Structure 1
Amino acid sequence: MNGELVAVVAVVALTVLFSYTNGFHDAANAIATSVSTRALSIRTALALAAAGNLVGSFFGAKVAKTVGAGIVRLPPGLTALTVVGCGLLGAIGWNFVTWYFGLPSSSSHALVGGLVGATLPAAGVVLWGGIAEDVLLPMVISPLLGFALGYLLMLAVLWTFRRGHPKKLNRGFRAAQTCSAAAMAVGHGMQDAAKSMGIVVLALVAGGHQSDWHIPVWVYFLISAVLAAGTYSGGRRIIATLGRKVIDLRPPEGFASEATASSVLYVAALGFGAPISTTHTITSAIMGAGATRRFSAVRWGTAGNILGAWVLTFPAAGLVAALFSWPLVALTT
């Protein structure tokens, strides 16, 4: 029992570290457009991200259950906790690699890939049907929706305000971005804070400390605080990529991107409990909004690098997790 308690604490600690690296990526994405268009200062944006993540996490129970119960099935005990820990190590490793190169990869897919990779050497059950329906299908649909809706919303903005004065419009949309950035932060909490909470609950269930998928209140506050800390310490690399290297964002495009991405996140979390990527959604929405200026305005070379990171995320995190899981699981069985 003591060994299992130590393992539970270790998994929770690794989940905290994963959430911290997630702050580099997805939490930074939630505020990147507002910071890049100078609608919000970095301090204000970080405070907004912290508050939004906390609020959104309370609406992410469906996503948390999908991640905790719908990806893999493991028997309770030390082996299950070891597998979850190895899955987190795979996701954390990939997050650090992509953060170093400033690529906004998906922490969500790194987490799922890590869990799958760690489960296979342990002879656990991978719920491939659930992964296909709840992860892979939304992984394809959400960026396509983000691009298309971002493009259409930006067209509507351009047509509606076609006679407006540019300086006045920029000031107005900077003010509007306060609302859209808050919506993004809440949407991020529904998704990414919820995913980490699902892993903590999975560890508690596997360790025999609770029997259902209820999320303790302390988990909400812990994960939200760690996400905010990660964003503050390392989010500037990702903010620079989304705000300047993909396209030089202006306030109207920033507003259209955030409004689009937050809408997609809400529908996925509240309607389907699907753990979609905040990264994929906001990045594709930025590209869609920017493409209304002209397609060449989007730096497609940078976009191609980001796409490459997206494709590699699932298998790369899974491979790293499997390399950890294979020897460690052998020691616990």
Structure 2
Amino acid sequence: MVFLVIIIILAFIFDYINGFHDAANSIATIVSTKVLTPFQAVLWAALFNFAAFFISKYVYGEFKVGNTIAKSIFEQYITLKVIFSGLVAAIAWNLLTWWYGIPSSSSHTLIGGFIGAAVTNAGGSFDVINYAKVLPTVYFIVLAPFIGMVVAFIITVIIVNICKRANPYRADNWFKRLQLVSSAAFSLGHGGNDAQKVMGIIAAAMVAHGGIEGVHTLKDIPSWVPFACFTCIALGTLSGGWKIVKTMGTRITKVTPLEGVSAETAGAITLFLSESLAIPVSTTHTITGSIIGVGATKRLSAVRWGVTVNLLWAWILTIPISALLASVVYFIVSIFI
């Protein structure tokens, strides 16, 4: 039971780190356009991160994304050591990428760590992976930013054509107000997608422990677990991730309030779509793709492709590096436990 408690605490720590690591996703554009101050922006985002709990529970009626994470490895291969090792690796990679200002995916970090530890536990066999659950997530490494990019491009073109005769000053003020709405929508999508991933890990740990009466699936977990997960990610968002805010808000392309509305709306649409399909996606990938789509409406050279290529490399390497880290941690843990 002590080991299970340690894992749950680690899961909440990861959830908190996920919040401040991904805070930039929700607030980068709204800060860069000076609609809100950094403190106001993180407070706004954190509020809607937590509000996503009620959307997932009472609108969707279940925590679909969490269920996908819990089932990414076949149940017979899931042990507490596997989950512990995956969490430690995910936390380490998240902190490292945050330190260097790289907006990598917390979601893929967690999945990579989970898989790496499970494969090591099975003696190197990849039969532990439930490909029916994992492959859609892998596909969305490419699809999520692409969908965000295309939707943002379309929304921006439509808005520009509708407003081309509008008074620039009045239009800018309107889009600043609308950015509050689009940012809130994106934060709802972020909270709904990311907090559930930790719920899936905690549910898997409770099932693996076998000592929690009545807990056999994600639906059986105590009600305090989802509440605590959404609270932790909101508190993490309050802490902010200023290094990544700079990358997301200014280094990819310069963003106006109009473009901020387009990027956040496109990102929110993509996140709500993925949650309805029970696919855990990267909010980082999604908003980055949306920002690129917005930049491309001006001209392709408006997007700083050198920065974007570096981000792509970080995305590609996240799952294998997290898996490798988890494998090393599992080997070390096995010596002592």
* Equivalence for 1:26: 22
Q: Where does the alignment leave 5 or more consecutive residues of structure 1 unmatched? A: none
Report the counterpart of residue 59 of structure 2 in structure 1. Answer: none
The one-letter code sitting in structure 1 at the alignment partner of 2:115 is V
Q: State the secondary structure of the residue aligned to 1:292.
A: helix
Mapped to 2, the partners of 1:27 and 1:204 lie a distance apart of: 29
SS of corresponding position for 1:229: helix
Deviations 1:37-64 (A, max 9, x none): 1222323322222222222234160001
Counterparts of 2:91 and 2:329, CA distance in 1: 12
**Counterpart Cα distance in 2 of 1:30 and 1:193:** 14
| Cα shift at 1:331 | 4.7
Aligned to 2:132: 129
What letter matches 1:41 in structure 2?
A: T
Aligned: 1:156 with 2:158 = yes
Any idea what SS the aligned residue of 1:72 has?
coil
Superposition deviation, residue 251 in structure 1:
0.3
Residue pairs, 1:2-151, within 5 angstroms: 5-58=1-54, 59=56, 61-69=63-71, 71-75=72-76, 80-123=79-122, 125-132=128-135, 134-151=136-153
Number of residue equivalences: 323
Query: Given the superposition, is the C-alpha separation of residues 234 and 47 from structure 1 closer, same or farther in structure 2, using an over 3 Å criterion?
Result: closer
Work out whether residues 23 and 42 of structure 2, in 8 Å CA contact, stay in contact via their aligned partners in 1: no
Counterpart CA distance in 1 for 2:4 and 2:239 is 27
TM-score, length basis structure 2: 0.91
Q: Pairwise mapping of residues 267-282 of structure 1 onto structure 2 (< 5 A)? A: 267-270=273-276, 272-282=277-287
Equivalence for 2:173: 171
Shift of 1:231: 2.5
> Which 4+ residue blocks in structure 1 deviate beyond 4 angstroms?
none
The structural deviation recorded for 1:18 is 1.0
2:242 alignment partner in structure 1: 236
Give yes or no for contact 2:19–2:236 (8 Å, CA) kept in 1.
yes
C-alpha displacement at 1:163, in angstroms?
A: 1.2
For residue 314 of structure 1, what is the aligned residue in structure 2? 319
* Alpha-carbon distance in 1 for matches of 2:243, 2:229: 22
Task: State the alpha-carbon separation in 2 of the partners of residues 197 and 54 from structure 1.
Answer: 14
Cα-to-partner distance string for 1:102-154 (whole Å, 9 max, x where unaligned)? 1111000011000000101111822133211x311122211111111111111
**2-structure distance, mates of 1:326, 1:117:** 11
Task: Summarize the Cα distance change of 1:234–1:48 in structure 2 as closer, same or farther, 3 Å threshold.
Answer: closer
Q: Secondary structure at the match of 2:79?
A: helix
> What one-letter code is carried by the residue in structure 1 that aligns with 2:279?
A
Identity across matched positions, percent = 38
Residues 37-46 or 80-89, more deviating? 37-46
* Structure 1 CA distance for aligned equivalents of residues 264 and 230 of structure 2: 20
Query: Counterparts of 1:254-333 in structure 2 under 5 Å?
Result: 254-270=260-276, 272-329=277-334, 331-332=336-337
Give 2:187's match in structure 1, choosing from 180, 185, 188: 185
| Structure 2 unaligned regions, length at least 5 | 57-61
CA RMSD of superposed structures (Å): 1.7
- Contact map agreement 1:183 1:259 (CA 8 A) in 2: yes
- Distance apart, 1:234 and its partner CA: 4.2
Partner of 1:217: 223
Contact 2:46/2:238, CA 8 A, preserved across alignment: no
Q: Give the AA of the match of 2:230.
A: S
Q: What code does the residue aligned with 2:217 have?
A: D
Offset, 1:230: 2.3
